[in-house]
Amino acid sequence: MHDLEGLAEPGSVEAGLLKVIETAKLPKHIAVIMDGNGRWAGLRSLPRVAGHRAGMVSVREVVETSAKLGLEVLTLYAFSVENWKRPRAEVRMLMNLLKEFARRELRNIQESNVRFRVIGRAQELQPSVQRILTQAVESTRDNSGMLLQIALNYSGRAELVDATNRILLERVRNADKHPITEEQLSGCLYTAGVPDPDLLIRTSGEMRISNFLLWQIAYSEIYVTPTLWPDFRRKDLFEAIVEFQRRNRRYGGL
């Protein structure tokens, strides 16, 4: 269901873009690599953490806009397994921001009828982070609108390893010798049951996948924008969708 009210001031750039967007052909699932927070801060001679905090404003706007557009799924890459290599103070700040997001944004998420979920090795996060995230997941469980997936302590390779181990265990338990199928592997990923992303957006101009949703993006359209994540606004999301709708998806066919 679309609720486009309040998404654009009459006569604005956003209104112009909204007119071009075909609501019947929206991507079902958009995944975002939110990159460029550090550079955004550096350009303003601010500490890197200021960039992450500013990035929260973009998160709020993109979540709200995606829910109003009627997307089925939005997946945001918030913290990778590799991000533990960053300075301790930055990691601590990122974890605090996530807690703040799960606590403070919960009301907005509820009002938007959004279902919240974490993908990644969440069991390895600090207990205080796990507790707050679990509360957010539990309290939005029955919402029927968009699914918001936050990738946390996430790695696409680790996800494939975890899925393979789950399959191996089941096979031993059931003395199963059938070859493994794509459906079986898909069904053991963190994203089991969720449609693959139609559109993958990466901000800050880097042409990399960075270990994100390696299996699921097999046929995703990739959109890279030079905009740094803290500057990414509704207009930028609309531009990505307009570009997506111009593409001719062939899935390997003609």
Catalytic residues: 35, 83
Rounded Cα distance, 101 and 124, in Å: 19
Nearer to ligand FPP, 83 or 186 (CB): 83
Residue 231 C-beta: closest distance to ligand FPP, Å? 12
Q: Which amino acid is at 112?
A: S
Torsion from C-alpha of 213, 80, 187, 113, nearest 10 degrees: -90
Closest residue to ligand FPP: CB criterion = 38
Residue 81 C-beta: closest distance to ligand FPP, Å? 12
Residue 174 C-beta: closest distance to ligand FPP, Å? 38
Buried b (16+ CB within 10 A) or exposed e, 198-222: bbbbbbbeeeeeebbbebbbeebbe
- Please give the DSSP secondary-structure letter assigned to residue 230: G
Q: Residue holding tokens 């009210």?
A: 5
Nearer to ligand FPP, 17 or 78 (CB): 78
Nearer to ligand FPP, 195 or 205 (CB): 205
Nearer to ligand FPP, 188 or 223 (CB): 223
Residue 39 C-beta: closest distance to ligand FPP, Å? 3
Please give the residue ranges that form the binding site for ligand FPP (CB under 6 A).
Answer: 34-39, 52, 55-56, 59, 76, 78, 83, 94, 97-98, 101, 150, 204, 229
